[in-house]
Chains A and B, each alone.
Chain A
């Protein structure tokens, strides 16, 4: 038994019987000890279970010292109710701050909300990269291998083994001539950096051609161990809540490329969580990316911005998915 342990035990056993034990044993333990910080306080696993009681003389009449504490009680049983067994304790996550200053930023104009009138010609260049199959049955994007295309309300992946673009049947025929269309891609450039391209256009269901309204290209910042990519946009003419947006691009099992838009306007919070399975991560390689892990993962990106904050607080995490 170490002197310190002996001191504690003696104090525990005899401390209440008089001052001598407390007065002599406790200082003896501490004399010569390095003054704590708490982290260096002299203790061990053994000592942790044995606590000296206060001297009886330090207590008012009618009071009894607390008994030495034993081992902590085990956590309560979850019980037999199936409902509780079916639920999982929340997994812990360790967030990492994303450097806001490192996020590339581009200025954009508002995306139009109202479709041009039938017969009108929207201003813009022809969408030369949009390929429409003969008979106007399908639309896809030339020369891209990873991304997604959307026509009106239907979205399809651009990825190996994922079909040939989006069917146009759901928009033809329609009384409205112009339908919104967009396509986004995320692919490595010659230097290996992933480049994001986004095109927003009006699709003429009669001519089966699209007119580009907005096109952006940016090299987003890899975050979350390279499983997500982020950039931000500024849009002074946009409505409040959409003036500053953090864009988070991640692989997706359904649409190949998931694109979350998190408002970073003052006075907001926003969050996105994506679960990636092994297939999704493997398919992501088509973009030219080299995913840091092949095992399934959950990634999350959160934003907080107070009204007076100079810049948003952006955090991300990567964690193992909960067991199913």
Chain B
């Protein structure tokens, strides 16, 4: 007890000792080795090794997956590290006392962090395309100190440690790559390409396979970590043997065992989607049946296959988890944070469909995107990004709301203005009757403001979901027909088609303005790899090929740049011969080509799955590509992928 009191005093007094600046930049050799991929050297290992081994918070046993929250233990107390992407910082909290201990500002938006076996903290910096490893402060009130960094493919969003703690696996959402680093010194080991939008990652119990969830596409990638070829096996999560119902929102993946005898499972909270096919419908998808339903894919990690769930058809309820974000599992308990719902839900992982077997639900502050569980203490710690709060939930208690909450420190001038912050919350609001009749949120089809890679039945015919983030400002008019010069009016049109009542009422005007504000400031993928020295983990890039593609793009005889100069839009409507008899109009608004690589399928009706296919088969419709050689088409594709 005396030691505990002394520790408490140390926690508190150390905070008065003055927080030092962020730790020094890593030695250049650390970075250079990351770039060259040369074998580990002692000097590098020292640069990334712990400076004060054994001091500071230690990892909680078994925690080998990242989230926006990670827990550690210091002399019997629970410490939380929180990745604050909004303010660009890592917060350190004493969870037992519900108090914030310190802040470590950090460049690049920290998206996820993980406590390594020796207590170091690895953080993925999404905007900087980098992973940093940080030394914990001996008393957690002090700032974390950066030990080393490594450039990784664009948009690192999640991390996982191998069971033997020797490797660190990183998923890069925009680059579509999975990188594997040496956990000791962060040296790059290898990277592989995976399908679009890899998100959560976990390494299997035998350490041989990394399982990666995908935000779109209803799939999990199983990456072979052992074989020299590092093959990627696609686990199809689409629902039904014949229907192959797609899905979205696959942000999280967790590994658990259902009982002491084994029964290992991978669990992926997500949604299933009925797009309505290639017809004209009354709404987006349908207004008769629920186009989007909550779902949890149950996967056998040994067989690397989804356990058949085709027979289930969930009855639509109100206040469902349509935007699952973070997850954790302990035994047969699956915990999922849900945006829009602003809740932590506990599901029974033993059920044939865990989404339909909810045990409990806790209300948490707005925007729960991070989750960490301390199985020993039976607590769950949730980061609510929109409310900028961390809440602690006693899983052993009967309360249904998070009473233990801590407001995180902020910059004196918050990076996100209040109106846009309000707009972000509205963008993720499920069950808002102003937006939709069936509970859908804007983010249901536009996760993170991007697109769901789907083509929906709409009253105008089949339409692929448009990529919004970073494309809105300066791109009026809006809609495929360019019918609305005002973004607010276009939103109202969209909400009507979703069965929502809209924001026309005077009391809703501020909310509409907030939503518009958010749409305008919403950031697209940070293309941090462009212009930097190439990382060995990046996909091979051929700058000469890209330059050649740029010249082809700008060539008047090809005709791309006339409407898409610089990859943008001429803000005009054109009949480019792509309309079909089903269309209400044959003149389509020129879309921006920004972030084209991650916005397939292509054309207004999603008829082309890939850019290469679009260029090959789209001749005479948008520009002229038939005269291009295969190499020229490859060059044009390479350029378009850089936009």
A interface residue numbers (CB < 8 A to B): 19, 22-23, 26-27, 30-39, 41, 43, 45, 48, 51-55, 57-60, 62-69, 72-73, 75-76, 78-81, 83-84, 87-95, 97, 267-271, 302-311, 313, 315, 317
CA of A303 to CA of B298 in the docked complex: distance in angstroms? 12
B501 cross-chain contacts in A, Cβ below 8 A: 79-81
Which residues of chain B come closer than 8 Å to A32, judged between CB atoms?
1, 5
- Bound-state Cα–Cα, A57 to B403, Å: 27
Task: Specify which of A31, A52, A57, A313 is in contact with B258 (CB 8 Å cutoff).
Answer: A313
Q: Separation in Å of the B343 CB from the closest CB of chain A?
A: 8
Residues on the A chain within 8 Å of B97, using CB: 26, 30, 41, 52
Q: Known contacts A38-B392, A54-B99; is A310 also within 8 Å of B356 by CB?
A: no
A54 partner residues in chain B, CB cutoff 8 A: 15, 99-103, 141, 409
Given A53-B99, A72-B403, A81-B500: 16 more A-B contacts, CB < 8 Å: A19-B15, A26-B12, A27-B9, A35-B4, A58-B101, A60-B103, A60-B105, A63-B103, A66-B100, A66-B389, A68-B407, A69-B405, A72-B363, A89-B319, A267-B308, A304-B351
* In the bound complex, CA of A63 to CA of B432 (Å): 34
Residues in A with CB closer than 8 Å to B573 are none
Which residues of chain B are within 8 angstroms of A84 by Cβ–Cβ distance? 318, 431, 433, 437, 439
Closest residue of B by beta carbon distance from A80: B433
Question: Are A73 and B366 interface neighbours, CB within 8 A?
Answer: yes
State in angstroms the CA–CA spacing of A75 and B363 once bound together: 8
Q: Which of B263, B302, B408, B437 contacts A83 (CB 8 A)?
A: B437
- Bound: A35/B363 CA distance, A: 28
Q: How far is the CA of A36 from the CA of B17 in the complex (A)?
A: 26
Alpha-carbon separation in the docked complex, A176 to B330 (Å)? 57
* Chain B residues positioned under 8 Å from A306 (CB to CB): 263-265, 300, 302-303, 307
B307 contact set on A, CB distance < 8 A:
267-269, 304-306
| Cβ B377 vs Cβ A37 within 8 A | yes
The CA of A88 and the CA of B315, in the complex, are separated in Å by 10
Chain A nearest Cβ from B589, distance in angstroms: 30
Interface residue from B8, B96, B374, B437 paired with A41 (Cβ < 8 Å):
B96
Contact status of A22 and B16, CB under 8 A, knowing A51-B99, A89-B318, A304-B352: yes
- Beta-carbon contact of B76 and A58 below 8 Å: no
In the bound complex, how far is the Cα of B7 from the Cα of A36, in angstroms?
13
- 3 closest cross-chain pairs (CB), A and B: A66-B407, A81-B433, A79-B433
- 6 pairs, CB–CB < 8 Å, chain A vs chain B: A19-B15, A23-B13, A30-B8, A66-B406, A76-B429, A309-B263
Q: Are B305 and A38 in contact, CB atoms less than 8 angstroms apart?
A: no
Q: How far is the CA of A48 from the CA of B98 in the complex (A)?
A: 9
Q: CB-CB < 8 A to B500: which residues of A?
A: 81
Which one, B103, B350, B405, contacts A72 given CB within 8 A? B405
Least CB distance, B511 to chain A, in whole angstroms: 12
> Are B305's CB and A307's CB within 8 A?
yes
**Chain A residue at minimum C-beta to C-beta distance from B439:** A84
Q: What residues of B have a CB within 8 angstroms of the CB of A59 in the complex?
A: 19, 102-103, 409
Smallest beta-carbon distance B594→chain A, Å: 32
Chain A residues near B264 (CB, 8 Å)? 306, 308
User: Which residues from B are CB-within-8-Å of A313?
Assistant: 258-259, 263, 350
B388 touches A (CB below 8 Å)? yes
Contact residues in A for B416 (Cβ distance below 8 Å): none
CB contacts (< 8 Å) of B308 on chain A: these are 267-269
Chain B positions 40-79 with a Cβ under 8 Å from a chain A Cβ: 76-78
The verdict on B151 contacting chain A, using a C-beta distance below 8 Å, is no
In the bound complex, CA of A52 to CA of B99 (Å): 6
B609 within 8 A of A: no
B374 and A38 contact, CB distance less than 8 A: yes
Contact call B317/A67, Cβ cutoff below 8 A: no
Question: A307 to B99, Cβ gap below 8 A?
Answer: no
CB contacts (< 8 Å) of B348 on chain A: these are 93, 95, 315
B520 nearest CB across to chain A (Å) = 24
Cα A307 to Cα B304 with chains together (Å): 9
**Structural contact, B1 and A35, CB atoms closer than 8 A:** yes
CB distance A64 to B410 under 8 Å? Answer: yes
Interface residues of B in 319-373 (CB under 8 A from A): 319-320, 342, 348, 350-353, 356-361, 363-366
List B contacts of A52 (CB < 8 A).
97-99
Residue B261 at the chain A interface, CB threshold 8 Å: yes
* Cα of A51 to Cα of B100 in the assembled complex, Å: 9
Question: How many angstroms between the C-alpha atoms of A37 and B397 in the bound complex?
Answer: 13
* B204 close to chain A: CB less than 8 A: no
Residue of A nearest to B287 (CB): A83
Q: Evaluate contact between A92 and B358: CB separation under 8 angstroms.
A: yes
Residues of B within 8 A of A23 (CB): 9, 12-13, 16
The residue of chain A having its C-beta at the shortest distance from the C-beta of B95 within the complex is A38
Cβ-defined partner of B350 (8 Å) among A43, A95, A308: A95
Do A78 and B16 have beta carbons less than 8 Å apart? no
Q: What is the chain B residue whose CB lies nearest that of A91?
A: B358
- Give B249-277 as 1s and 0s: 1 = Cβ < 8 Å from A's Cβ atoms: 00000000011011111000000000000
Nearest chain A CB to B14's CB is how many angstroms away? 8
B302 close to A97 (CB less than 8 A): no
Please give, as numbers and ranges, the residues of chain A lying within 8 Å of B318 by CB-CB distance.
78, 84, 87-89
> How near does chain A come to B308, taking the closest CB pair, in angstroms?
5
Residues from chain B with a CB closer than 8 A to the CB of A83 are: 433, 437-438, 499
Query: Could you say which residues of chain A place their CB within 8 Å of the CB of B531?
Result: none
**Does B402 interact with chain A (Cβ within 8 Å)?**
yes
Q: Which B residues touch A35, using CB under 8 A? A: 1, 4, 76-77
Quick check: B103 and A58 within 8 Å, CB to CB? yes
Closest to B351 in A: A302
B406 contact from A64, A69, A75, Cβ within 8 A: A69
Are B100 and A267 in contact, CB atoms less than 8 angstroms apart? no
Rounded to whole Å, the gap between the CB of A63 and the closest CB of chain B is 5
Identity of the chain A residue whose Cβ is nearest the Cβ of B319 in the assembled complex? A89
B432 adjacent to A79 (CB under 8 Å): yes
**Is B474 in the interface zone, CB < 8 Å from A?**
no
- Is B401 in the interface zone, CB < 8 Å from A? yes
B residues within 8 A CB of A270? 311, 352
B312 at the interface (CB under 8 A from A): yes
B24 part of interface (Cβ distance < 8 Å): no
A269 to B309, CA, bound (A): 6
Instruction: Tell whether B394 is near chain A: CB-to-CB under 8 Å.
Output: yes
Is A72 touching B401 in the complex (CB atoms < 8 A)? yes
Contacts of A41 in B (CB 8 A): 96-98
Q: Is B316's beta carbon under 8 Å from chain A?
A: yes
B228 at the interface (CB under 8 A from A): no
Residues of chain A lying within 8 A (CB to CB) of residue B438: 83
Could you tell me the distance between the alpha carbons of A269 and B634 in the complex, rounded to whole angstroms?
A: 45
